[in-house]
Amino acid sequence: MADDLRETWDEIARHWDDWGPPLRPSEEDLDIAHRALTRWRSETSIESVRIFLCGVTPEIAALPLPFRSELIGMDQVEAMVRIVWPGDIPGVRRAMVGNWLQSGLPAGSQDVVIGDGGFGFFDYPRRQLALARSMHRLLRSGGLFFYRHWAGIQQREPLERVLSDARAGSIGNFHVFKWRVAMALQPDSRAGVRLHDIWQACQDAALDASRLPQPGWSSRAMSTIRFYRDRDARLYFPTLDEFREILSEDFEQIDVQFGTYELAERCPMLIARPKS
């Protein structure tokens, strides 16, 4: 992980409560995950399910499941583990600082791998493909991969349309706005978009939260954009088709589901099985 991206996540950890969907999973996303895991569990006789979580997303770590499970959450940023993780519970969940590409866990040691947006911090296609292969190596035969993807759209929308929608009060919260800005700035999936450029576009928009009718535009939420200032790290938003092609190298039976919340059409959930 690049140093400036690590510094960004260090700041995010300290202000985690200021972030919301779609940057964090919604209740609807969690319901879909719960149903997918429950359906998969009905097909196996495993007594206790071993789950690897890419990151320490507390909503996922604390997701109540109707079966025994042991979850490992892994994040590269120590502050995320120390501040955001909801706490270790012996025999149920634990967190560790580590690299998803080189987790140190034995091949085939996990029954389920779950991720939430993490591929977007790896360049497309090379490192996203490497990450998919790392997740495949962790899974046993018959395991399950569940991932919520931040997907770019085939026909990139103009930045001015995003700004116009925000000023008209038709974007429900700042995080939706920020992600639409980021995707509008990305010329293509390989190039990605620089964090500082997202910050600059949001600054240039000069939006005043007090003049917007939507409740999701709090000053605290809007202030989170400052963590992108002067950061050269990039985000990558491959389209759903592009990302499915990445996954198809090592996974099969790829199912895609969508929520109904704002921007859910760009947050598809992919459920797949590892190829033998």
Considering the domain architecture, whether residues 144 and 171 belong to the same structural domain is answered as no
**Is 8 within the bounds of a domain?**
no
Least confident residue range of 30-34, 187-191, 222-226: 222-226
**Is 86 within the bounds of a domain?**
yes
CA–centroid distance for 61 within its chain: 14
Q: What is the DSSP letter of 264?
A: G
**Is 82 within the bounds of a domain?**
yes
Q: What is the DSSP letter of 115?
A: E
For residue 70, what are the CA distances in angstroms to 97, 142, 272?
17, 17, 20
| Residues in Cβ contact with 131 at an 8 Å cutoff, skipping those fewer than 6 apart | 100, 101, 118, 119, 122
Model confidence band, residue 114 (pLDDT cutoffs 50, 70, 90):
very high
pLDDT the model gives residue 163: 95
**Is 135 within the bounds of a domain?**
yes
Q: For residue 92, what is the domain's CATH number?
A: 3.40.50.150
Least confident residue range of 200-204, 206-210, 237-241: 206-210
Name the one residue in this structure whose structure tokens are 């495949």.
136
- Within 76-189, strands assigned E span 93-97, 110-116, 139-148
Sheet architecture: strand order including 110-116? 93-97, 69-75, 49-54, 110-116, 139-148, 269-274, 251-257
Considering the domain architecture, whether residues 163 and 269 belong to the same structural domain is answered as no
Distance of alpha carbon 252 from alpha carbon 49, whole angstroms: 21
Considering the domain architecture, whether residues 91 and 116 belong to the same structural domain is answered as yes
Considering the domain architecture, whether residues 41 and 117 belong to the same structural domain is answered as yes
**Is 11 within the bounds of a domain?**
no
pLDDT the model gives residue 118: 96
Distance of alpha carbon 236 from alpha carbon 190, whole angstroms: 7
Considering the domain architecture, whether residues 37 and 130 belong to the same structural domain is answered as yes
Whole-number mean pLDDT of the chain? 95
- For the entire predicted model, the pTM comes to 0.95
**Is 15 within the bounds of a domain?**
no
Considering the domain architecture, whether residues 243 and 142 belong to the same structural domain is answered as yes
Considering the domain architecture, whether residues 205 and 245 belong to the same structural domain is answered as no
Least confident residue range of 4-13, 47-56, 157-166, 248-257: 4-13
Please compute the mean of the pLDDT values over residues 219-240 and round it to a whole number: 94
Considering the domain architecture, whether residues 191 and 257 belong to the same structural domain is answered as no
Q: Which domain holds residue 229?
A: 159-235
| Residues in Cβ contact with 89 at an 8 Å cutoff, skipping those fewer than 6 apart | none
Considering the domain architecture, whether residues 137 and 53 belong to the same structural domain is answered as yes
Considering the domain architecture, whether residues 26 and 141 belong to the same structural domain is answered as yes
**Is 138 within the bounds of a domain?**
yes
And the tokens for 196?
């500082």
Considering the domain architecture, whether residues 33 and 130 belong to the same structural domain is answered as yes
Please compute the mean of the pLDDT values over residues 39-49 and round it to a whole number: 94
Considering the domain architecture, whether residues 212 and 258 belong to the same structural domain is answered as no
pLDDT of 51 over the 80 cut: yes
**Is 14 within the bounds of a domain?**
no
Our count of domains for the chain comes to: 2
Q: Name the CA radius of gyration of the chain, rounded.
A: 18
